[in-house]
Amino acid sequence: MRKLRACLNAITMLNITLPDGSQRQFPGPVTVAEVAASIGAGLAKAALGGRVEGQLVDTSHTITQDARLAIITAKDADGLDMIRHSTAHLLAYAVKELFPEAQVTIGPVIEHGFYYDFSYSRPFTPEDLAAIEKRMTQLAAKDEAVVRKVMPRDEAVQYFKGLGEHYKAEIIGSIPAGEDVSLYSEGAFTDLCRGPHVPSTGKLKHFKLMKVAGAYWRGDHRNEMLQRVYGTAWASKEDLQQYLTMLEEAEKRDHRKLGRELDLFHIDEHSPGTVFWHPQGWVLWQEVEQYMRRVYRDNGYLEVKGPQILDQGLWEKTGHWDKYRENMFVTESEKRDYALKPMNCPGHILIYKHGIKSYRDLPLRFGEFGQCHRNEPTGGLHGIMRVRAFTQDDGHIFCTEDQIQTEVKAFTTLLQKVYKDFGFTDIIYKLSTRPEKRIGTEESWDRAENALAEGLRASGCEFEYLPGEGAFYGPKIEYTLKDALGRPWQCGTIQVDPNMPERLDAEYVAEDGSRQRPIMLHRAIVGSLERFIGILIEQHAGALPVWLAPVQVAVLNITDAQADYARDVAQMLKNQGLRVDLDLRNEKITYKIREHSMQKRPYILVVGDKERAAGAVAVRARGNQDLGVMSLEAFRDRIASDITLKS
């Protein structure tokens, strides 16, 4: 009898497997919070949620059968997302307390924080924002439980209509009939949400509201303009302060601000989303473009140039007309429709098709500094980082399937060198694999994904997979660089595409005489030159390396007595190929030095009577470094070394 009872107990016990492989047993259904408490009081206090069989849940979630469980805390990425999502609800709670007539809409998590959209009769002021944040802090201090409940869809619609929350009712009304929805309540506030959320408001301690912006309901300009309140939330006070400090530094480095101060470019209302490059900005542009042109030349690329305007029929064949039409600028001539190209790839295939290609011609690498136009919405434009007219360092490699791995390895190695020369050494590698909706056979996807992975491994790169994030026609690698502030910028990519050669009937003559389709590798290193230059400006806070600086040397005289010598020095440096600014103004030397320092000149050469007599220059390096008096030869050697080393 005792053995039978033991067997029955063993059968009915619930087994919870933890991430380290250990197991805990419970006599019946158990919540995530109870499992955390069984492990230790510290974990019970820190627990924000759980991941049961891979699904993220609240700590109140009841586990009814054997399962794998990971306890989520603020140290986990999922935990930080829960904090931010819950803080968005706390924001809405505070707004409803202070402005009862405001209607709540949606409040998702975004990078570094969250936002919530509100409908209210007047714009929120900075004083309102401060009051809302203060109320959020008070509500968090009350440590009210966050409780989940489930309600039938139609009942939930009526519930929110009864509260006067018509936007919420509309959202719920779009959910299929007969489904249940989950609601979360904290104190007097209830909101629609899938969850999960932190167990109580007391877990939300480190947040700050950042700004208010306009946003159309459901992103449609025909709808009401709502007020979007942005905020940030973190797991600790230190993390929050570090982020706010980073934002302060980012503001100082803002490429739009520096573009004005350094007289590099401007954006004009007469042509929104396009860039007017000033002389010094165009020098910077040319240095980047000419550097990339040398990269093409030295690595087997043939530079080509395609037209800006292409016939509608071509875009129909590629699929862009159906899927991308709203983002294209179109025009008409002699009753024929055209579009400004949003990308360069169709043009490169037309160049490839001009003449018969043999397997001996492959791999064939085309590169183009091709200007593209995309009809981006006005609200999405951002300085030179996101524009409507941009130039790409665009390249396409036509190759066989067997050549993919070798090309990926060579491209990755090349990209690493380019980024290093521009001052970026921290690169993140991601491989996006087959999406649910795709073309091609499983075998072709296997081969393409394996070729990309092996190409990365052969280049010594550690990478992460992004399952399901590939294009419908093939997998891709994304190369993301990190700047001086740790911000990620996805610039480079290489994508496997057998689809467009098929659509545009590109082929080559194989060794056996048969006609075969080439694989097309879309690749870019810096991507949009406009965007990359914006990144460069912010990376270096405007103090560009000597080889990129629009003006590399400023030559300043102290009095008119040294004017002729200063001219000779400047001309000698120009003859060496340097970009020189000669300043002979009748101003105090301290004033001139300060002005050129603010323009972030790499070197300032001051010449007085002593320097003229000695045939030398007094050298000041950027950062207020006084390098003393040098001979002209010594200075020439120094700056030549800087340029050669890209320092």
Among residues 168, 476, 523, 531, the one annotated as catalytic is: 476
Q: Is 348 a residue of the active site?
A: no
Q: Is 476 a residue of the active site?
A: yes
The Cα–Cα gap between 622 and 600 comes to 7
The Cα–Cα gap between 339 and 349 comes to 17
Residue with tokens 């081969």: 447
- Look at residues 235, 221, 227 and name the one whose alpha carbon lies nearest to residue 112: 235
- Look at residues 236, 77, 82, 207 and name the one whose alpha carbon lies nearest to residue 140: 207
- Look at residues 545, 609, 553 and name the one whose alpha carbon lies nearest to residue 582: 553
Q: Is 354 a residue of the active site?
A: no
Q: Is 518 exposed, middle or buried (0-12, 13-18, 19+ CB in 10 A)?
A: buried
- Look at residues 391, 633, 421 and name the one whose alpha carbon lies nearest to residue 548: 421
Among residues 61, 168, 388, 396, the one annotated as catalytic is: 396
Q: Is 399 a residue of the active site?
A: no
Q: Is 497 a residue of the active site?
A: no
Among residues 345, 399, 461, 491, the one annotated as catalytic is: 345
- As given in the structure block, the two tokens for residue 570 are 């400047």
Among residues 168, 522, 592, 601, the one annotated as catalytic is: 522
Residue with tokens 């694989």: 519
Among residues 58, 394, 497, 642, the one annotated as catalytic is: 394
300: left (phi over 0), alpha (psi -120 to 50) or beta: left
SS3 (DSSP) at 151: strand
Question: Cα–Cα distances in Å, from 37 out to 22, 41, 56, 389?
Answer: 16, 6, 18, 57
Where does 310-357 have alpha helices with state H?
A: 312-318, 320-323, 345-352
Partnered with residue 496 across adjacent β-strands are 521
The Cα–Cα gap between 100 and 342 comes to 47
Q: Is 461 a residue of the active site?
A: no
Where does 344-483 have alpha helices with state H?
A: 345-352, 404-421, 442-458
- Look at residues 419, 523, 398, 404 and name the one whose alpha carbon lies nearest to residue 458: 404
The Cα–Cα gap between 229 and 129 comes to 8
Q: Is 278 a residue of the active site?
A: no
Q: Decide: 344 and 524 in contact? Cβ < 8 Å.
A: no
Among residues 103, 227, 392, 599, the one annotated as catalytic is: 392
Residues in CB range of 393: below 8 A, 6 or more apart: 292, 367, 369, 524, 525, 526, 527, 529
Supply the residues annotated as catalytic.
345, 374, 392, 394, 396, 476, 522
